[in-house]
Structure 1
């Protein structure tokens, strides 16, 4: 039986965690009961230096279920750093990881399908959005233009894929050998060379709260994506 750890980066997500964690816990337990996962499968939440009650909520869930665990940053280091920290910790004890944002705009009901693709031999399973209707016109247009620019620069990307994915232990271990500091994870994953699969889903609005990627952060993230992956500019 294979162990799964669901890794959730969280920055000031007190509005959504009370709904997100029980839902993910329920879905993971359902996959366990269907004999796809081992009983010790767990959830790891990375508090990215939150200033609200995110950490106290994580502590509360841990008291209820020891398999719901948390890491706490000393300050806000950013979404990608939180993902890397979660993967680095999780891979010590797990066979596979699934990363998913706390707002659950990505469909957690696809977790079963991801695990099945892993069981069929895929080391990396991409969650791919079927459309971007929940994005504003500005975000949708700039995102499409950005990924077109990356393709023109020779960067290999998976269209409409963000950071909702399953990775096997060896895929994560290979990713962690990269020495980058400002890591653009979704640009590095296709370089790993392992067998991949895709699951498709409809992206939904946030459960609550506000996006943690205002324009300034989006621009910085986009610049990291370019400078991390190509010297063409």
Structure 2
């Protein structure tokens, strides 16, 4: 069985050497055991790093390494896509894994066994996140709950550690959207799938490339790419605003008939500000979707490759 493991990298000079040292021991071991064939490969995708990431990647002498260098920073999801897309039909199975090795690569053998049983997609799912901070665990739980409430189908506690076969890869490449959210694309593909559980480790070196701000942006991008629920919420808020406006108008008419005079500007300003805020919020939500449509119609490339090394 020919395997390709894809590692996306962005400013990872602090962890790369240790990652390669640790992972290559495991990689050569499963080759010796006959789990994968000798012509299996590892692909590092440099997502426009500004440190020495590319120099370190190209300095490795091991025969198993392929490498792709982006001309700019196009994002983690596009780095994963590039590593897969540029080697389609060349391997039997493909695994994507973050270079910090917080996800336990020792379950790769179990993933391959599941594939041999007939599964097209095997999701790596974290069943122990005790090494994550309370904030990280809390925001992750909020993320998956919010996605579920918004109607976006994802695998709970699954990031981007997964095994797919070539059929699943070819199905993935049929999705042309510019804002790619792989965690929701693969459940949408369907096929025969299963789950492998593992414990998440703490990051040994370097800093996480997903701070809270970026995680929130990532979640929002996923929601607006796969769910129309925010637009429906805007519609409901609009209907509620009309109803409240009607009640206010009715109340003002009653006060007028009673001869009561409404003094001051406070009540008027409060009402105008309230409904003005709702309208601005609604326009912002709609604008987000229109912006995605605008970008999609331009059909810009999702990434541009500066250099590629194949062995």
Common topology (TM > 0.5): yes
Q: How does 1:65-104 map to 2 (within 5 A)?
A: 65-104=62-101
| Preserved CA contact (<8 Å) 1:58 1:69 | no
Structure 2 equivalent of residue 47 of structure 1: 46
String of CA shifts for 1:84-132, please: whole Å, max 9, x gaps.
1111113241111110000000001111111111111111111110122
Which residue pairs with 1:35 in the alignment?
34
Of 144-153 and 40-49, deviating more is: 144-153
Is the CA contact 1:155–1:229 (under 8 Å) kept in the aligned structure 2? Answer: yes
TM-score by length of 1: 0.95
Any idea what the Cα deviations from partners look like across 1:2-51, whole Å, max 9, x if unmatched?
20000000101111110111222222221122222111001000001111
- Greater CA radius of gyration, 1 or 2? 2
- Give the TM-score, by structure 2 length: 0.72
Aligned residues: CA RMSD? 1.2
Alpha-carbon displacement from aligned partner over 1:202-224 (angstroms, at most 9, x marks no partner)? 10111200001122221211111
Provide the rounded CA distance (Å) in 2 between the counterparts of 1:193 and 1:32.
Answer: 30
Of 107, 110, 120 in structure 1, the residue corresponding to residue 107 of structure 2 is 110
Q: Where does residue 161 of structure 1 map in the other structure? A: 158
Q: State the distance in 1 between where 2:208 and 2:27 align.
A: 25
For structure 1, which segment, 212-221 or 131-140, has the greater mean C-alpha deviation from structure 2 after superposition? 131-140
Structure (1 or 2) with the greater helix fraction: 2
> Are the counterparts in 1 of residues 3 and 93 from structure 2 also a CA contact under 8 Å?
yes
Q: Single out whichever of 135-144 and 103-112 deviates more from structure 2.
A: 135-144
The runs of 5 or more residues in structure 1 that have no matched partner are none
User: 5+ residue gaps in structure 2?
Assistant: 231-311
